[in-house]
Amino acid sequence: MCSLCGVLGGRGHWTESSSSPEAFASRREEVTRRRERQERIRLANRILGHYGLKLTDFSGGSYVLSTHTGRSKIVDNITEVWIAAEDLTGRGCDPLDPALLAGLAAR
Amino acid sequence: MTAYDTLIPINIVTGFLGSGKTTLLARLLRSPALRDTAVLINEFGEVGLDHHLIEHAEESVLLMDSGCLCCAIRGDLQGALRSLFSQRTRGEIPPFRRVAIETSGLADPTPIAYTILAEPVLQHHFRLGNVVTVIDAVNGAAQLERHPESVKQAAIADRFVLTKTAMVDDGGRVVRAAVREINAAAPVFDIDADPLNPDALLTDDLYATGGKRREVAGWLDGFAAASGDGHDHDHSHGVGSFCLRFDGPMDWTAFGLWMSMLLNRHGERVLRVKGMVNVAGVADPVLINGVQHIVHPPTHMTGWPDGDRRSRIVFIVQDMDRAEIESSLNAFNALAA
């Protein structure tokens, strides 16, 4: 779902496979929600490091996004992470940015 | 959580002023297969609709604070759909199994889609079905060059229905080429020349158990008929479509990070995304479907068409570069390796 508008309630975020079990029913091995969440945080931090940000888990249901200087925001899903990242850094977080892609390839 | 495929599908019938939306709807509603369809219309045209379940809704859009135009709740539809469902539950109207919304000619269909997918009550009872865009062969090509509303209606179409092709010398060849350049993934039907098949237009979609395979085949055939993968464009509207193919499996977590980041930054220009993804560790294809910032819950299809296990993702974008999108997704997917 789009979370730009802050509408509350409803299904889980579309990126979470636990929200659409039918779509992932033919998985060859079980992936727990917790494991997927940890992997999401690990990969997100590879990207967020480019902007000087760090993502951590918050009670298994939300995330905390922080800057190196200690500013932080609590967000509920990965779409909100990008919105908060742009807010905290004051710059656009663009997956098409060649500098970001070069940085990802170099790490 | 309600299983997505048990929700009541809502079809949006859109098209520019005078394109023939009501005529199409009137013909479709004569089909016994669509007898249990409730109809919502935004404006009463000259063509009367003789149907037992018609509601009228004045257009009103509730803009959210974020100012994101595609993510606006349509207040009129919110009220009308809640009311319809409530009457259905109380037994005051027949238990309709589908809703068709006829938009006004200048409507942007995206807020309608957003209302269905994100409104807290409606999302538990309804889901978005196919968007059918009606294009008039006499004026359609010119409207697509001049009116952004018309381009938007074409970009998010799941089906095109051409009207008035008998009134032009080329039989609709020009308008057909114009819509294919914007959106090669949507099958095109000619209301005069082709048999009017309600299944092909409305009921075959990604969430219909029996129809999703035909639906996916329709996208791929569309690109095969166009040029294989879509092509560059030089129209004033800057909208075009292409189909990316990826040989290896996709990591779902990396894909979700990439797509959510892309839509957050470029959602106003990514008009439509749909595809069949070979997700690492998952035997069947995972089907994705998005309209601007809005993404449907993914679903799956049993087995791969033609045994080809490559991911195939259709993008309909405005002024965006295909190679940049492709290399960016590859870079993100490599993060999980």
| DSSP result, chain A | ---TT----SSPPTT-GGG-GGGGTTBSS---HHHHHHHHHHHHHHHHGGGTEEEEEETTTEEEEEETTS-EEEESSHHHHHHHHHHHHSS---TT-HHHHHHHHH-
Q: Bridge partners of A62?
A: A58
Instruction: Tell me what the mean pLDDT of segment A38-60 comes to.
Output: 96
Using CB atoms within 10 Å of the CB of residue B260, give its burial: 0 to 12 exposed, 13 to 18 middle, 19+ buried.
buried
pLDDT at B65: 41
* Set of chain A residues whose Cβ sits within 8 Å of the Cβ of B65: 5-6
Residue A104 forms contact with B (CB below 8 Å): yes
pLDDT at B57: 54
pLDDT at B188: 94
Residue B26 half-sphere exposure, CB side, CA atoms within 13 Å?
11
**CATH 3.30.1220.10 intervals, chain B:** 231-335
The answer to whether A80 touches A5, Cβ cutoff 8 Å, is: no
**CATH 3.40.50.300 intervals, chain B:** 4-217
High-pLDDT (> 70) share of chain B, %: 86
- Which strand (E) or helix (H) includes residue B254? helix B252-266
Pick from A63-72, B49-58, B141-150: least confident: B49-58
Instruction: Tell me what the mean pLDDT of segment A30-38 comes to.
Output: 93
pLDDT at A3: 44
The answer to whether B198 touches B189, Cβ cutoff 8 Å, is: no
- For chain A positions 4-63, those within 8 Å of chain B (CB to CB) are 4-11, 14-17, 19-20, 22-29, 31, 36, 39-40, 43-44, 46-47
Assigned token pair, B143? 């409207």
* pLDDT, averaged across chain B: 85
pLDDT at B54: 61
* pLDDT, averaged across chain A: 90
Query: CA-CA distance, A86 to A67, in Å (whole number)?
Result: 11
Residue of A14, A36, A40 with shortest CB distance to B295: A14
Assigned token pair, B298? 């993914």
- Which strand (E) or helix (H) includes residue B137? none
- The predicted-structure confidence for B178-237, as pLDDT tens digits, reads as follows 999 999 999 999 998 888 888 889 888 888 777 788 888 877 777 776 655 555 555 677
β B286-291/B299-300 pair status: antiparallel
A-chain residue closest to B71, CA distance: A5
Flag if A25 and B336 touch (Cβ within 8 Å). no
Assigned token pair, B60? 């009103």
CATH architecture label of B231-335: 2-Layer Sandwich (3.30)
The CA-based angle B313-B319-B320, given to 5 degrees, is 40
Flag if B123 and A39 touch (Cβ within 8 Å). no
pLDDT at B262: 97
Pick from B41-45, B152-156, B318-322: least confident: B41-45
- What three-state secondary structure class fits B294? strand
| DSSP result, B212-249 | HHHHHHHHHHHHHHHTSSB-----TT-EEEEEEEESSP
Cα torsion angle, B61, B64, B68, B73, sign: negative
- The predicted-structure confidence for B261-293, as pLDDT tens digits, reads as follows 999 999 989 999 999 999 999 999 999 999 888
Q: Which CATH superfamily is domain B4-217 in?
A: P-loop containing nucleotide triphosphate hydrolases (3.40.50.300)
pLDDT at A10: 54
- Quick one: pLDDT band at residue B51, thresholds 50, 70, 90? low
Range picked from A74-78, B23-27, B80-84 for highest mean pLDDT: A74-78
Which residue, among B261, B279, B333, would best test binding to A if mutated, counting the most A CBs under 10 Å from its CB? B261
- The predicted-structure confidence for B30-44, as pLDDT tens digits, reads as follows 888 888 898 888 754
Residue of B73, B264, B287 with shortest CB distance to A83: B264
pLDDT at A1: 43
Tell whether the model's pLDDT for residue A6 goes beyond 60.
Answer: no
- Quick one: pLDDT band at residue A7, thresholds 50, 70, 90? very low
- The predicted-structure confidence for A85-102, as pLDDT tens digits, reads as follows 999 999 999 999 999 999
- The predicted-structure confidence for B54-87, as pLDDT tens digits, reads as follows 655 555 444 434 444 455 667 777 888 898 899 9
